[in-house]
Amino acid sequence: MATNRVIFLVFNSVHLLDLAGAVTVFYESGCCGKHYDIHYVSPSPNPQTSSGLGITNVDPLHSIHVEKEDIVILAGMEIAKWNRADDKLWIPWLQNAAAQGATICSICTAAFALAASGLLDGQNCTTHWAWTAALQKEYPHLKVIENKLFVQSGRIFTSAGIATGIDLALYLVEEQHGVAFACRVAKDMVVYIRRDGMEVQNSIYLQNRQHINHHIHQVQDYITKHLQHKLTLEELAELVFISPRNLTRLFKSATGVTIGQYIQLLRQEKAKHLLKEKYKLAWIAQECGYRSSAQIRKLLKEV
């Protein structure tokens, strides 16, 4: 039976985006027609985020009995403020969850918690690139894999953190409801695809967003959400109330590529991702904004 319950284990000094990114995926899944029952538990009665924001409506660990169909997600926390005095509270709870056969996931530095619980002993895993060496050094019996978005070992998943928690959550949604539905959720979140776990901790989408031009960000968001449609320069320019010529100049200056190149790179990356899932070429072509399956067959030779 497919699960509809996701339980977030929240440590004190949790990183807000590590938590919120994955939560939003399951929330948006509900908005798209596939509901998840989301719960939050913590060894702390009133956990604080690493940015100082307090969290309420968090249940005590003993109030939730984890079952096989559940998904348990540990959000990353600030390691320097991680209170190990709580180990006796959450480690037995987490070990019991794993013993029940639940899917266990960590985002970012929460891989350290999975390691401390013993659930990663001898397993492949990953974490944020800045912490892979420290994780391997502190827990030498693990097999820490660098520069991967997320790693699966049985029903245990570890992700690189920050935005990659979104990729992992989308993967879990896709497992249950299929790639077409996961793509719909991704579109609603304007992330355009679920990146594969074997991809490096970067993407075309992220590579070209390292700028601060609000108008160009707005155009990029529009492109990712409407990638399946024919996009014109005039349409994009009207969106941000500047001339097509000025938009062309600003886009290239901010991203390093032209608008046409950017659209093509996004379509290629998304198509190559969907090709790995063995879906019909006609559907992939439509989803990625290509005119025919012939263009997808050409890409197929490059995958």
Encode pLDDT of 76-87 as tens digits. 999 999 989 999
Task: Tell me the whole-structure pTM to 2 decimals.
Answer: 0.69
**How many percent of the chain have pLDDT more than 70?**
90
Closest CA to 159 of 209, 111, 120, 199: 111
Domain residue ranges in the chain: 5-177, 203-300
- Whether 5-177 shares its CATH topology with 203-300 is answered no
Alpha-carbon torsion (119, 124, 128, 131), positive or negative? positive
Average pLDDT, the chain: 88
Tell whether the model's pLDDT for residue 198 goes beyond 50.
no
Tell whether the model's pLDDT for residue 276 goes beyond 80.
no
CATH topology of domain 5-177: Rossmann fold (3.40.50)
Higher-pLDDT residue of 280, 138: 138
Q: How far is C-alpha 203 from the chain's CA centre?
A: 12
How far is residue 195's CA from residue 203's CA, in Å, rounded to a whole number? 8
Tell whether the model's pLDDT for residue 293 goes beyond 50.
yes
Lateral strand order in the sheet of 37-42: 59-60, 37-42, 5-9, 71-74, 103-107, 156-159, 150-153
Please give the pLDDT value at position 119: 97
Spell out the CATH class of 203-300.
mainly alpha
* 242 in Cβ contact with 216 (< 8 Å): no
Tell whether the model's pLDDT for residue 225 goes beyond 70.
yes
How far is residue 175's CA from residue 2's CA, in Å, rounded to a whole number? 10
Please give the pLDDT value at position 202: 45
Tell whether the model's pLDDT for residue 110 goes beyond 90.
yes
Q: Return the minimum-mean-pLDDT range out of 21-35, 142-156, 194-208.
A: 194-208
Please give the pLDDT value at position 1: 40
- Beta-strand ranges (E) seen in 1-123 are 5-9, 37-42, 59-60, 71-74, 103-107
Closest CA to 157 of 141, 139, 175, 140: 175
Please give the pLDDT value at position 3: 55
